[in-house]
Structure 1
Amino acid sequence: MGLFDREDFDRQLGELPGVTFDDQWDAHVAKVGGKVFCLLSDAAPPRIVFKVTEESFDILTALDGAAQPAYFAKRKWVEITERAKLTDADLLAYVWRSHEAVAAGLTKKLRAELGLA
């Protein structure tokens, strides 16, 4: 089923260090150190939103089924639907990079507490 299924979303992202989950903004939100790195929308069709680099933004938003999400920083986040031609492994790799990028912005102390140091 992949990341578009809430159970798989929780299982796969829950393997990353320091991850917690909240339900907010009509979505299931994955956070590290209290900071959002990925979310699964509750709306149909399901969408996954995550933080990206400029290069990844250009690559991903060129795909059918991918776009810049509303209410997120321009060119820093993407929204992916199941229409996007990404394998589960590729999508998961982008989400892992989002986790790494957000975790890198945490304080050294918090990273150590979360097992990220």
Structure 2
Amino acid sequence: MNIEEYRFFCLSQKGVTESIPFPKLPNVLVFKVKGKMFTATDITTFASFSIKCKPETVDELRATYDAVQEPSYFSKKHWCRVVVDGSIPNKILYEFLETSYRLTVANLPKKIRLELENENDM
């Protein structure tokens, strides 16, 4: 996976926006669904990206994949940093991003989730 594939996949999900929201970190690209972050990466290196995870699977993911590590800036209980070193197949990387997106959507208020579901139905 490269930065363009990562970006395209993230933006192909319903309700997703991209931004560089941290003035002190001008290279950090963040993807949000309805204002809630689900992944972020350094656009200059794309050496890794952060994903939201189920707390009960975080330790298992880190034990299974050497490239899945503790995040630098996020909660270690809910987030992982995925190193993009080619050791994890792209299919799995996309699954990680999809899970992160779905977990974020699941935590949105019901009214916003319903708006999101109906966005493309109009």
- Give, in whole Å, the separation in 1 of the partners of 2:98 and 2:32: 12
Deviation at 1:69, TM superposition (A): 0.8
**Which structure 2 residues correspond to residues 32-71 of structure 1 after superposition, within 5 A?**
32-42=33-43, 44=45, 46-62=47-63, 63-71=65-73
Runs of 4 or more off by more than 3 Å in structure 1?
42-45
> Which residue of structure 2 lines up, in the alignment, with residue 9 of structure 1?
6
Decide whether the 8 Å contact of 2:29 with 2:42 is kept in 1: yes
Max radius of gyration: which structure?
A: 2
- Distance in 1 (alpha carbons) for counterparts of 2:66 and 2:72: 17
Distance 1:55 1:47, change over 3 A: same
Is contact 2:47–2:85 with CA below 8 Å preserved after alignment?
no
What is the TM-score normalised by the length of structure 2?
Answer: 0.80
Task: Write the deviation string for residues 34-83 of structure 1: whole angstroms up to 9, x where unpaired.
Answer: 00001122354621100011343123222323211122112210001123
Unaligned runs of 5+ in 1: none
RMSD: 2.1
C-alpha contact 1:18 1:115 (8 A) present in aligned 2: no
Which residue number in structure 2 is paired with residue 18 of structure 1? 15
Gaps of 5+ in 2: none
Q: Kindly tell me the number of residue pairs found equivalent between the two proteins.
A: 114
* Alpha-carbon distance, 1:86 to partner: 1.1
**What SS does the corresponding residue of 1:36 show, helix, strand or coil?**
strand
**1:88-117 deviation per Cα after TM superposition (whole angstroms, max 9, x unaligned):** 110111110111111111112111222269
What CA distance in whole angstroms lies between the structure 2 residues aligned with 1:84 and 1:57?
A: 20
TM-score (norm 1): 0.83
Matched AA of 1:48 = F
SS at match of 1:75: coil
